Amino acid sequence: MTKTELKDFLDEKVLQFETPDFIPHDPISIPHMFSDPKDVEIAGFLAATIAWGKRKMILRNAHSLMERMDHEPYDFIMNFEDSDAVAFDGFVHRTFQPEDVFYFMKALQRLIRKHGSIESIISSHWISSGRPNNLKDTLSHFHTQFFDQPHAPRSRKHVANPAKGSAAKRLNMYLRWMVRSSEKGVDLGIWKEIPSSVLSIPLDVHTSGVGRQFGLLTRKQNDWMAVAEYDEKLRDMDPIDPVKYDFALFSLGAVEGF
């Protein structure tokens, strides 16, 4: 398949899979439950945080988190007190446990009180850094800010740090949700300061496997260096909206068994 043929093929697959039919079986369905952007960005962040494992389990546990927060994630976090931790008794998603949820509530409360929103934390660092063509350093800065209070070391793994080599799949997926246009009715597009052109591919077993089959990825490890290599190829195909191809690449692997 030539470069042009591959682009045409993937463009067709984007049209096929980037439709509202994608939503119900994907973690993006969680932020879609809300209309207030304040709720959307928090629900999305928490859903993305636990987005590893089987999708049915992810959705079940993400719904459980929202229920425990009375389906008002912004108000719950902004009014959170230590005594409210009882709401998460018994909650477990793989290694994400009540101790981790408690820290996430406190960290989000602290950061949002200070900066106003998750968007503000991310976009202000990216802008002050000179608007680079990727968000690697910004995500590492976010990790540092998130864990700048006493915490259990085990909690750190739940927010990726590209500076340590992580592919940051869940954070990149979250950024896609928040930044990309909502025109197709799937991504939410509530963040306006960051352009889709600087987003990175959410690299997982499906996108990496399909990418290697198509010659879009040669690196064997699924790390940030692989993300950078993949991004370069996708931006060559569409410099304005490269991560639209996540819909094609993920679905080819997860749905069509490529």
Q: Residue 93: beta bridge partners?
A: 96
- How does the average pLDDT of the chain come out, rounded? 97
Whether 1 has a pLDDT exceeding 90, the answer reads no
Whether 20 has a pLDDT exceeding 80, the answer reads yes
- Stretch 163-170: mean pLDDT: 97
Say what the pLDDT of residue 189 is.
Answer: 98
- Stretch 230-245: mean pLDDT: 98
Q: Would you place residue 111 in the very low, low, confident or very high pLDDT band (cuts 50, 70, 90)?
A: very high
Whether 241 has a pLDDT exceeding 90, the answer reads yes
pTM equals 0.97
pLDDT digits (tens, 9 = 90+) for 183-228: 999 999 999 999 999 999 999 999 999 999 999 999 999 999 999 9
Q: Would you place residue 237 in the very low, low, confident or very high pLDDT band (cuts 50, 70, 90)?
A: very high
Q: Would you place residue 5 in the very low, low, confident or very high pLDDT band (cuts 50, 70, 90)?
A: very high
Q: CB-side exposure of 144: number of CA atoms within 13 Å?
A: 11
Whether 134 has a pLDDT exceeding 90, the answer reads yes
Say what the pLDDT of residue 255 is.
Answer: 82
Say what the pLDDT of residue 109 is.
Answer: 98
Whether 258 has a pLDDT exceeding 80, the answer reads no
| Percentage of the chain lying above the pLDDT 70 cut | 100
Q: Would you place residue 49 in the very low, low, confident or very high pLDDT band (cuts 50, 70, 90)?
A: very high
Say what the pLDDT of residue 256 is.
Answer: 77
Q: Would you place residue 257 in the very low, low, confident or very high pLDDT band (cuts 50, 70, 90)?
A: confident
Say what the pLDDT of residue 116 is.
Answer: 98
Say what the pLDDT of residue 148 is.
Answer: 95
